[in-house]
Structure 1
Amino acid sequence: MGGMSDIDDDAGADARSPEEQADLDREARFRKLKAWYRTDRDASSAWRADARIDFDMVAGHQWASEDEAALREQGRPPITFNRVLPIIKAVAGAEVNARLDIQYLPREVGDAALNELLTEGSRYLADEAEAEDEESDAFVDTAICGMGWVEMRLDYETNPDGDYVEDRVNPLEMIWDASATKRNLVDARRLFRAKSMDMAEARGLFPDADPEDLDAAWAEDRDGEQHHQIQPDQKRSDRPGDVSDGTSRVTIVEATWWERKRVAIVTDPTTGESQEMEPAKADVLERRAAALGMQVDIRRITKRVYRRAFLGNTILKETPSPAGDRFAYACITGDRDQNRNSWFGIVRPMRDPQRFANKWLSQTLDMLNRQAKGGLLMEKTAVPDQAAFEASYGKPGAISWVTDGTLQSSRMKEKPLPVLPAGHYQLMEFAIGSIRDASGVNLELLGQKQNDQAGVLEYQRKQAAMTILASLFDSLRRARKHIGRVRLYMIQTFLSDGRLVRIMGEGVMRIVPMLRDKTAGDYDVVIDDAPSSPNQQQVVWQTFTSVLPIIKDMITPQVLLEVLPYSPFPDSFVAKMRELLAQPAQPSPEQQQHQQIAVQTALAKIQDMTAGANLKNAKAGREAGLTHHDTLDGFAKVAAMAAPPQAPAQAGFAA
């Protein structure tokens, strides 16, 4: 029976059409991707809960819901003095003032002249896409929750030829490989992005898909409650309206992963070029070459192949990765939580100090409200007229009459002033100071140091604060390398179609086309300080002005062309100066007259030298001719002497 079943299964498999087999493979791939997504989502659910708290802390929502409800029930104000936001803004400002630049260095000698086109073209595309702002926004996410994401893609909606686009991605939309442990998730095998959008937008992205399939309800994790049991034929109680309603919300999952694939590298014996092909085709080629007595160099290797798919209730679309052999998403990670295999930013250590500071401030205000703020304690018979006493007690210069013996018998005394518990202020100041201490950002970096101190000392303390944050900036540098490699691939593969880019070279702006033969080749991605970085400009300009008195005699227009971009002058002024310096200088009339005299003198000397040389050549030629004649004459005489004697000729006959 078992053997018959196997035979039937094999026969059924052989009877399937290619379309049916493709559908089965597609369904199997969908189940695999969905299982990966659920595993990775559940592994990072705790991180997403913490990330939401971190974003609330920065936005000023720093009280837990139960604590805020208890305070309001008691009539106490939930005071929030947000000291987390200035620290995050200080770190973000430090990144903006020290932005990095992506450069490409050639690996081959022949490509040395082309790296300028690639580097300047990359800057131009990044400037058009406002890439620096998006990367800075992702860096702020990293400082807050420990993870920042940047997407690199081509947009064909506004330009049929494709525009390069970089977008900051909400970290809460991203799901990453649960087994990835390295910084920036460089060892991740798969990435997911679950994005919520309107049904109308989903239909615009996938016009050929069935509207019933445009919702990955299985992917949602709303407040930690996974919707695993929603079937395609079931209605969603949390989403009013029909699926045809354009205002209803749906979830689309983008999956990117890599898988190993066996390929054969065949080297052409005539040209020496290598070509990649399927192993089966390589086997056929090898057999045919062997039959002809030829030897073909074939290497079989395993390579990574990156794929991308959009998931709803099924696979809506599947394509190769738009970034080639890399992910189209760049991740920036903060500090590692080893036990949870997750990442966190500088907000997490500031949570408790900020919350305790808020609680002590609220408690202080409550104690001040509950205690007396002036007034008297007195007996009813201590004054003859209570109304007159109350009216006169608060008036300056008025006399308040009391009954005889009231002051001596202590029948009236003042209420004690508010007294806070000992050490309360010290604890509150400690909590406020701990917010800054836990982040590693000092007063100098915040710009709040009010003591008079030397500028050198303040600069050194700012550098000390930047040293504490160095690991965060190192992750950004590593992410920009990934961005640079993806941008290089897109330039070489999709954007080298002759489009014009603006580049600056030797002080002159040029408009050049990006052609495929001008951008091909292998390049290394180097991250350097950008000339537009305010910190870099300030350091270079201060250093240059300090050594200017020493090297003033060596300053040339070429030196000024290189130094002007680092000056504090406006960009328009710098561009005009570079244009003027790049032009050849016009000589004055006196200089032109001197130049003409010098040219005429030089021409006269050249003519004299030419005439003298011609005379010498003629004389030498005449002497050489005489010498040659003497040589021939001597040779004739020697030949005549060596000849035998001849008989005298007969008269009347010619000799």
Structure 2
Amino acid sequence: MNENDIKKDFTQAYERAHAYWAPFLSEANTDLSVMLGDQWDASAKRYLEKQRRSALVFNKVRRVVKLIEGYQRKNRLALKVDPVEGSDQATASQLSALCQWQMQSCNAYHVMSDAFSAGALKTGVNLVNLFVDYSRDPLNGDIKIKRAPHNRFLLDPAFSERDLSDCNYICRRELLTKDAVRSILPAGKRHLIDNISPRGVADGKYEYGALARNPAGDNLLRYDEFWTRTHKPLTILMDPAAGLSLPWKGDAQTLERLLSAHPGLKIFETMRRSVELAVFVEDQLIHQGPEPGGLEDFPFVPVLGFFEPEYDQASWKLQGIVRCMRDPQTEVNKRRSKMLDIIDSQISTGWKARENSVVNPEALYQSGQGQVVWMKGDMDQAQRLLPPDIPAGLMQLSEILDKDIMEIPGANSELFGMAESDHMQIAGILAKMRQAAGLTILQDIFDNYRLAKKLVGQKLIKLIQANYTPQKVSRILGQPPTREFFTGDFGKYDAIPVEGVLSDSQRQMYFAQLVSLKQMGAPIPWKAVLDAAPIEDKGRLQAMLAEEEKARASQAQGQSALMRLQKDLARAKMRSDLAGAAQKQTQAMKNLAAETGERVRTAREIAQMDRGALRQAMPVIRKMQKEPNHARDHRQAAQPVLP
């Protein structure tokens, strides 16, 4: 595509987007003015000026905006990378550490909060721009993040997705010095702006931009970017057996040889989405080529407020929370200005008297507010002037309007840290529940912000993988990257950007996670928690802990020796008891054997007797059996009885 065609496409795209978004830009500019305190339009100011009244402003919108903005800033969450189930934990940890370092090094969390405040709350939209700056690192570059205000860009009117996936083009303008433009352009294109000078005359574009009229006007160049989404043919090489696919970037002949050598491989023709960039400096085409960061997508993430893509009128489909507070704020200013005018214009106290009716006219000026009305005619004596009262309904109406400014956008008294009634005792848990209920009304705005942070994380991972070398990754992390670190689809299938505890470094986040697990009851030693703690003079505390552990180890060693000695004594006693029991058992067996032998001999002798002899011996045997019993009884009777 030649230069004339590119410039023609840019002009048509700008005119089409400007014609659609002009009503929104006008309303957004008014929203921003109201938030800043410029709340009277030109006609109202002229009316007040004719009546010699001041255009007083009682800005209550700022309080509500700063409340929600302060809540977001106070409850910031970090951007980290978690592995998908079954994925590589080491690679995900390295990506998480690098993202954390990157977000801290370029103040990305502050940029995101500024975009949330200026976009979601005040005007309705801001863009977060990710780019690579080669000014300090010509080899790798440094990834930077900055905010694009609502009045410096125009989106495709047909976009409806919050990730800009269906946006076909973006127009953006900056006013830069010649050296700043040189630092952005590729090295081979920098000489093209040597003969370009600022025109100093507004061209009518981006009329709501803060620098549209170039008030300095002497050395700033109009730098326009025209981002367009393109679709290019792409050949996919597939292995159905292994379930793998890979984009083919080689030539056709090499592909034919590869297919003939491996009949199982298949090819698939498709279209690949990409992004082209055209740069104009003072309406002259300076550069045209693919997206320079390697994203193959827009390097922008929108931070949206209330967005209704199905509504066609641009002035209403996109807006911040200021929009719904404009009318109540205007009425508050009118009513309070009217009340003050009534008070100032009426004669609160004074006198009405006839000329020459008092001896000392100066005395009348010394009472009340010094207002005296001199009259001619019949008046017997001076009369006091009494002021009219302000209508009570006007005060009540003012209070209602004050309450509307808080309640319409979704704020309530609990969000401001106060109870609804001074006489109401509210428990802390109930106050938190009411505060959470108030924030539920604004949940879609916070969801849009979280989505924007997730999209920033995805684009940040791609930029790191596309631009940083392993040496720079090792320098940042203190360890070499894993083998899967530069895998293009690792951030798509194996890890996802999520929110975590915000800290100044990955080490502090690790400490917060350890403490959380410790509180949940995980068996984590205190030494591991202390080693990860980001506290001052940690060495002395570690030495104290080491001494205490050494003392506990010595005490445990003594207790262990005592327990071993007790066990040895118990085993010795058990062996002695077992030996005595064995000896007793042996003696019992000997006694049993002797008794058994005696019985055998007796049985053998009895067997040798005949029946007659046995019959003759039976009386003698019975007598012998009875005789020991009588003798024992006699001996027991003969023993003395001890007292």
How does the TM-score come out when normalised to structure 1?
Answer: 0.70
Partner of 1:222: 207
2:306 maps to: 335
Tell me the CA shift for residue 571 of structure 1: 5.1
Task: Provide the rounded CA distance (Å) in 2 between the counterparts of 1:248 and 1:66.
Answer: 36
Residue matched to 1:28 = 5
Report the counterpart of residue 83 of structure 1 in structure 2: 60
2:232 matched to 1:261? yes
Counterpart of 1:209 (choices 192, 199, 202) is 192
Residue 219 to residue 96, structure 1, CA distance change in 2 (3 Å): same
CA distance in 2, matches of 1:424, 1:191: 50
- Pick one of 380, 383, 398 that aligns with 2:358: 383
Could you tell me which residue of structure 1 aligns to residue 598 of structure 2? none
> Residues 179 and 366 of structure 1: is their aligned pair in 2 closer, same or farther, counting only changes over 3 Å?
same
User: In the aligned structure 2, how far is the partner of 1:601 from the partner of 1:211?
Assistant: 94
Which whole-Å CA distance do the structure 1 matches of 2:332 and 2:349 have between them?
28
Q: Does 1:445 align with 2:428?
A: no
Alignment check: 8 A CA contact 1:124 1:502 kept: no
Residue 598 (structure 1) shift: 8.4
> Does the C-alpha gap of structure 1 residues 175 and 501 become closer, same or farther in structure 2, counting only changes over 3 Å?
farther
**Corresponding residue for residue 220 of structure 2:** 249
Q: CA deviation at 1:381?
A: 4.2
State the Cα deviation string for residues 176-230 of structure 1 (Å, max 9, x = none).
Answer: 1110123354421222211123345335545322456677976713269xx9xxx
8 Å Cα contact 1:309-1:319 kept in structure 2: yes
SS for the counterpart of 1:368 is helix
1:626 aligns with none
Aligned to 2:267: 298
The equivalent residue for 1:65 is 42
- Contact 2:34/2:61 (<8 A) preserved: yes
Partner residue of 1:320? 290
Distance in 1 of aligned mates of 2:304 and 2:237: 40
Gaps in structure 1 of 5+ consecutive residues: 1-23, 228-237, 396-405, 504-509, 603-655
Distance 1:390 1:255, change over 3 A: same
Residues 69 and 466 of structure 1: CA distance in aligned 2, closer, same or farther (over 3 Å): same
**What are the Cα deviations for residues 282-336 of structure 1, in whole angstroms up to 9, with x where unaligned?**
4x45666788896752111112012222223232123322251332111011113
Aligned residues: 527
Give how far 1:439 is off. 1.4
Cα distance in 1 between the residues matched to 2:93 and 2:232: 36
Residues 539-554 of structure 1: pairs in structure 2 closer than 5 A:
none
In the superposition, relative to structure 1, how do residues 564 and 137 fare at CA in structure 2: closer, same or farther (>3 Å)?
A: farther
Give distance in 1, aligned partners of 2:195 and 2:21. Answer: 29
Q: Is the 8 A contact 1:561 1:578 kept in 2?
A: no
Conserved? CA contact 1:215–1:252, under 8 Å: no
1:154 aligned to 132, 135, 147, which one?
132
8 Å Cα contact 1:264/1:277 also seen in 2: yes
Label 1:42 to 1:576 Cα distance change in 2 as closer, same or farther (>3 A). Answer: farther
Task: Decide which structure has the larger Cα Rg and report it.
Answer: 2
Instruction: Determine whether 1:435 maps to 2:414.
Output: no
> Is the alpha carbon distance of 1:515 and 1:152 closer, same or farther for their aligned partners in structure 2, counting shifts above 3 Å?
farther
Asked if structure 2 preserves the Cα contact closer than 8 Å seen for 1:215 and 1:251, the reply is yes
Q: Give the corresponding residue for 1:101.
A: 78
Within 5 Å, which residues of 2 pair with 1:577-588? 585-588=549-552
User: Residues 593 and 133 (structure 1 numbering): CA distance in 2 closer, same or farther, change over 3 Å?
Assistant: same
Is the alpha carbon distance of 1:419 and 1:99 closer, same or farther for their aligned partners in structure 2, counting shifts above 3 Å?
A: same
Q: How far apart are the structure 2 equivalents of 1:223 and 1:125?
A: 33
Aligned to 1:352: 327
2:22 is aligned with 1:52 = no
Q: Deviations over 1:14-35 (max 9, x none)?
A: xxxxxxxxxx534322321331
Q: Note if contact 1:140-1:148 (Cα within 8 Å) is conserved in structure 2.
A: no
Q: Secondary structure at the match of 2:338?
A: helix
Q: Does 1:512 align with 2:454?
A: no
**Corresponding residue to 1:459 among 428, 432, 442:** 432
**1:635-646 equivalence runs, <5 A:** none
The CA RMSD measured in Å over matched residues stands at 4.2
Query: Which residue does 1:128 correspond to in 2?
Result: 105
* In 1: Cα distance, 2:358 partner to 2:338 partner: 37
The answer to whether 1:530 aligns with 2:501 is yes
Going from structure 1 to structure 2, the CA distance change for 1:383 and 1:25 (only over 3 Å counts) comes to same
CA–CA distance in structure 1, aligned partners of residues 564 and 39 of structure 2: 83
Amino acid corresponding to residue 586 of structure 1 in structure 2: K
Conserved 8 A contact 1:323-1:486: no
**Is residue 2:278 matched to residue 1:309?**
yes
1:420 aligned onto 2:400:
no
Change (3 A) 1:291 1:76: closer
Q: With the length of structure 2 as denominator, give the TM-score of the two structures.
A: 0.71
Equivalent residue number for residue 647 of structure 1: none
Task: For structure 2, list consecutive stretches of 5 or more residues without a partner in the other structure.
Answer: 370-377, 568-643
Decide which of 127, 150, 159 is 1:180's aligned counterpart: 159
Matched, 1:474 2:475: no
Go from structure 1 to structure 2 and tell me whether the alpha carbon gap of 1:300 and 1:339 turns closer, same or farther (over 3 Å shift).
closer
Distance, in Å, in 1 between the alignment partners of 2:44 and 2:527 is 63
Distance in 1 of aligned mates of 2:207 and 2:141? 35
Tell me by how many angstroms 1:265 deviates.
1.5
Q: Could you tell me how far apart the structure 2 residues matched to 1:182 and 1:327 are?
A: 13
Query: Which residue number in structure 2 is paired with residue 3 of structure 1?
Result: none
What does the per-residue CA deviation read over 1:596-655, in whole Å, with 9 as the maximum and x for residues that have no partner?
A: 7889999xxxxxxxxxxxxxxxxxxxxxxxxxxxxxxxxxxxxxxxxxxxxxxxxxxxxx
In structure 2, give the amino acid aligned to 1:178.
P
Deviation at 1:561, TM superposition (A): 5.8
Aligned to 1:485: 458
Q: Which residue of 1 aligns with 2:90?
A: 113
What is the CA–CA distance in structure 2 between the aligned matches of 1:394 and 1:108, rounded to whole Å?
83
Q: CA deviation at 1:429?
A: 1.5
Tell me which residue corresponds to 1:230.
none
Report the Cα offset of residue 356 of structure 1.
Answer: 0.9
Q: CA deviation at 1:468?
A: 0.6
2:619 alignment counterpart: none
Identity %: 21
**Aligned-residue offset at 1:130:** 1.2
Displacement, 1:256? 2.1
